[in-house]
Amino acid sequence: MQRGHFFILLFLLSFKLNGQTGRRHEKFRLPPELKEISGLTVLGDTLLVAINDGGNSPELFFLSTKGILVKRTRVVGAENTDWEDLAKDNRGNLYIADVGNNLNNRRDLHILKVSISAALKQDSVVATKIEYFYSDQKAFPPPKEERRFNCEALFWLNDSLFLITKNESVFSRAQRRDRSPRIYAVSDQPGTHQAILTRENLLKGFRFNRRGISELVTGSDYRNGRITVLTYFKILCFDVWSSEVQKPKVKLFFRVLQREAIAISESGWVYIGAEYHRLLGGPVLIKKRIHAD
């Protein structure tokens, strides 16, 4: 084959592969109002709702599946201390996780419960509050080797909310034997509740490897018997009711972005929100398939 023909063929093949990839992976610019996107969930198959990280206004941002801002709704009577994730139940409620706890010293951890229909119809909405405390946290803050109570991931399942800790212990030599994210369950009803450590009952062998920052949990979602967990460089899928020690299905990312939010649609699309970073870019919405089913 002549050299010129070879490069033409290579170009055409590349174009074809890129076209195939484009159908499985799309990226959209998010509005600047979401430069610190931290939580995301899907309403039906045509609408997303997102939140910003702590220090921003207590607002819900409704988006098209291409990241276009459709509507914003303020949560009245609430502050955004450290909003980190969103979840929804099957009864029309949205849950906003004000659970960021970098210093492990918060005594006001809570989840806000909002009516989705009210938030869609009105410019402001009132939330009820689910306050909680970790059943095994004894000091505020605890000693450095026991600081496992920061969280950025939430999902709803069977009348309970599940919190997955971020797992900063990967940086602590004192905790080399316990680097797994922890899963806590808390009631989805307003009031004050204990968050009970349930990892061993919910998932057998739920454990990441020991590669440091790539395993920091930044978001999660639940759909159709499977928990999907987001870290900075991976998507991991676990079957909820498996009685076996699991090796999760893993999808790697090849471009570095500050990925902070994940949501799964009923039709199987995965949406990932990456916040603005001066070196990495953003904010962006990524839409892709991961062969989760």
Q: What is the pLDDT of residue 290?
A: 73
Lowest mean pLDDT, pick from 59-63, 142-146, 167-171: 167-171
Q: Which amino acid is at 82?
A: D
pLDDT at residue 260 above 70?
yes
Which two tokens mark 259? 């990925």
Q: Distance between CA 75 and CA 78 in Å, rounded?
A: 6
What distance in Å separates the CA atoms of residue 6 and residue 223, rounded to the nearest whole number? 45
* Mean pLDDT, all residues of the chain: 84
Spatial CB neighbours of 177, under 8 Å, sequence gap ≥ 6:
none
CA torsion through residues 111, 116, 120, 123, sign: negative
Structure tokens at 228: 């999907």
pLDDT for position 107 = 97
Q: What are the pLDDT digits (tens) for 71-125?
A: 999 999 999 999 999 999 999 999 999 999 999 999 999 999 999 999 999 999 9
Two structure tokens written together for 61 = 């941002």
- The token duo for 42 is 């899907």
H/E stretch holding 76 reads strand 69-76
pTM of the model: 0.87
Residue owning tokens 């904010």:
283
pLDDT band at 43 (very low <50, low <70, confident <90, very high): very high
CA 214, CA 244: separation in Å to the nearest integer? 25
Write out the H or E segment, with its range, that includes residue 49: strand 47-52
User: Are 274 and 231 spatial neighbours (Cβ–Cβ below 8 Å)?
Assistant: no
Residues 1-37 as b/e (b if ≥16 CB within 10 A, e otherwise) read eeeeeeeeeeeeeeeeeeeeeeeeeeebebeebbebb
Q: Which helix (H) or strand (E) holds 274?
A: strand 270-274
Separation between Cα atoms, residue 233 and residue 80, nearest integer Å: 27
Categorize the per-residue pLDDT at 213 as very low, low, confident or very high, splitting at 50, 70 and 90: low
